[in-house]
Structure 1
Amino acid sequence: VAINYRRDKEAAEETQRAILDAGGLATIHQGSNDIPAENVALVKDVLSVHSGIDIAILNGGIASKGRSVADTEPEELWQLVATHALGPHQLCRALIPSMRTRGRGDIVFISSVATSGMSANGAPYNMGKAAMEALALTLAKEERPNNIRVNIVAPGLVETDMGVRLARAITGRREMDDLRSMDEAAPFGRVCQPEDIANAVLWFCSPAASYITGQRIQVDGGGSSLRVGQ
């Protein structure tokens, strides 16, 4: 397993230790996916220590600042679109040749339920994730002849560091350290956990999904797709 991080080396090392403790092999690689040259360098670095790339999980992301279109600075727009769409485009361009050589591959993009709702005051994020999904669906058509499957997992609110920051912004409760106070109002009585997203990704990359490509699974407990009472 090759783990890419931009700034949080400590979290990358924690993930690496968990994989090593489970008996796996894991390496960490620094790089920012919104910089095209770093995407190319990342793939070269990974291939220098691994025999090839079979699975790619594109999970990089940052939140927008919650401003209206009229109040959004161009720098924020470009950064979010670059992080969520332009960077993944360049990363796929760099890693697909390895998958083609190996005769198979799985690419899973981590998007968001935001592309279904397109909420106000989030245009940079909405645009970036929508462009990501357009990339994924296009890539699924292009790479199917090469036995490369491309799919999308779209989470709702997840209890990660980013999810806690988002919840603080939504509720105004700056002291919030976890999302336990939101469990009661959440689908199934709990907030979505990282493992819920990982399980969807794992399924997409498993033999059980070998005939599935170009699809999008929304992992939000039905919170954004089911009406009250259903």
Structure 2
Amino acid sequence: MTQGRADGRVALVAGGSRGIGRAIALRLAAEGADVAVNYRRDAEAAEQVVTEIRAAGRKASAFAASVDDPEQDAAMVEAVLGEFGGVDILVHSAGIASRGQRVTDTDPGEPLRLMATHAFGAHHLCRLLVPQMRERTRGDVVLLSSVAGANPMAGGAPYSMAKAALEALAGSLAQEELPHGIHVNVVAPGLVATDMGDRLAHALTGVGVAAELDAKAPFGHVCRPEDVADVVAFLVSTPYVTGQRITVDGGASPLR
């Protein structure tokens, strides 16, 4: 049997029930990891991911928690550690979208909601899980950002602000945990063919789903969740990469 790049390790994938998170959970399992699948609302989708992972011969369970709630995060982490014994890989893929309003038209609560999910939620999980990673053979934190974190678009300030804060967290954590051998990296996709990507593509171009833009996209297709999962699988196995931000957009946007 070919050795996987995550053999014998345990991963917690926040937002692992759908979209990019789902693809990452399945890919890490295919690479030999046992996987804790976090979800907020869609228990059925999370259980489907768990079923697929178990069918492939790996251990998996679903855990409900809204990542923006520190008490729910603490309860989830306690449950995950109790069942799996430890976590080697944390992937923060949980996210919500902006409503597409300009700054002057934005509800003042929206930036708080976006920041709480993308940045504060990641901070909570890192605070809870990184200490025990220091005692593991290897620890990895991968935070899912977006090209919008460095290249904001009109109508998306809350989302871009939240992703920029997430990336600041990654930069600080990477420096703090370097003496402990923990790798911390950011993956920043462009438009991805997910439910969220479909809504964005429809709002900006009028297409029904993002995949309708395949002909305009680099390499003949809009980024798929599996393309992002490939990069995550690389990052949690490569020995000498930390504190980096890897863009996954094919080099250009099909939205232009």
Shorter-normalised TM range: over 0.9
Deviations 1:174-226 (A, max 9, x none): xx2x43321100111111111100000000001xx2111000110000015xx
Q: Determine which of 57, 78, 83 is the counterpart of 1:23.
A: 57
Which residue does the alignment assign to 2:141? 107
Residues in 2 aligned to 1:50 and 1:180: alpha-carbon distance in whole angstroms: 37
Say whether the 8 Å CA contact 2:88–2:138 is kept in structure 1.
yes
Which residue does the alignment assign to 1:67? 101
Say whether the 8 Å CA contact 1:103–1:146 is kept in structure 2.
no
Which residue does the alignment assign to 1:190? 221
Residues in 1 aligned to 2:223 and 2:206: alpha-carbon distance in whole angstroms: 20
Which residue does the alignment assign to 2:67? 33
* Partner amino acid, structure 2, of 1:185: K
Residues in 1 aligned to 2:231 and 2:225: alpha-carbon distance in whole angstroms: 10
Q: Determine which of 235, 242, 245 is the counterpart of 1:213.
A: 242
Residues in 2 aligned to 1:179 and 1:73: alpha-carbon distance in whole angstroms: 27
Q: Does 1:125 align with 2:156?
A: no
How far has the Cα of 1:90 moved from its partner?
A: 1.1
Range that drifts further, 13-22 or 50-59: 13-22
How far has the Cα of 1:171 moved from its partner?
A: 2.4
Residues in 2 aligned to 1:166 and 1:99: alpha-carbon distance in whole angstroms: 36
Say which SS state the counterpart of residue 91 (structure 2) adopts. strand
Say whether the 8 Å CA contact 2:68–2:116 is kept in structure 1.
yes
Unaligned runs of 5+ in 2: 1-34
TM-score under structure 1 normalisation? 0.92
Q: 1:217 to 1:101 in 2, by over 3 A?
A: same
Query: How many aligned positions are there?
Result: 220
Say whether the 8 Å CA contact 1:104–1:146 is kept in structure 2.
no
Q: Does 1:152 align with 2:183?
A: no
Residues in 2 aligned to 1:139 and 1:103: alpha-carbon distance in whole angstroms: 18
Residues in 1 aligned to 2:226 and 2:236: alpha-carbon distance in whole angstroms: 15
The runs of 4+ residues in structure 1 deviating greater than 2 Å are none
Residues in 1 aligned to 2:138 and 2:222: alpha-carbon distance in whole angstroms: 35
Which residue does the alignment assign to 1:50? 84
Residues in 2 aligned to 1:38 and 1:168: alpha-carbon distance in whole angstroms: 34
Residues in 1 aligned to 2:52 and 2:251: alpha-carbon distance in whole angstroms: 31
TM-score under structure 2 normalisation? 0.83
Which residue does the alignment assign to 2:169? 135
* Partner amino acid, structure 2, of 1:154: A
Paired-residue identity, %: 54
* Partner amino acid, structure 1, of 2:200: L
Residues in 2 aligned to 1:57 and 1:118: alpha-carbon distance in whole angstroms: 23
Residues in 2 aligned to 1:6 and 1:196: alpha-carbon distance in whole angstroms: 24
- Calculate the aligned-residue CA RMSD, in Å: 1.3
Q: Determine which of 112, 122, 138 is the counterpart of 1:88.
A: 122
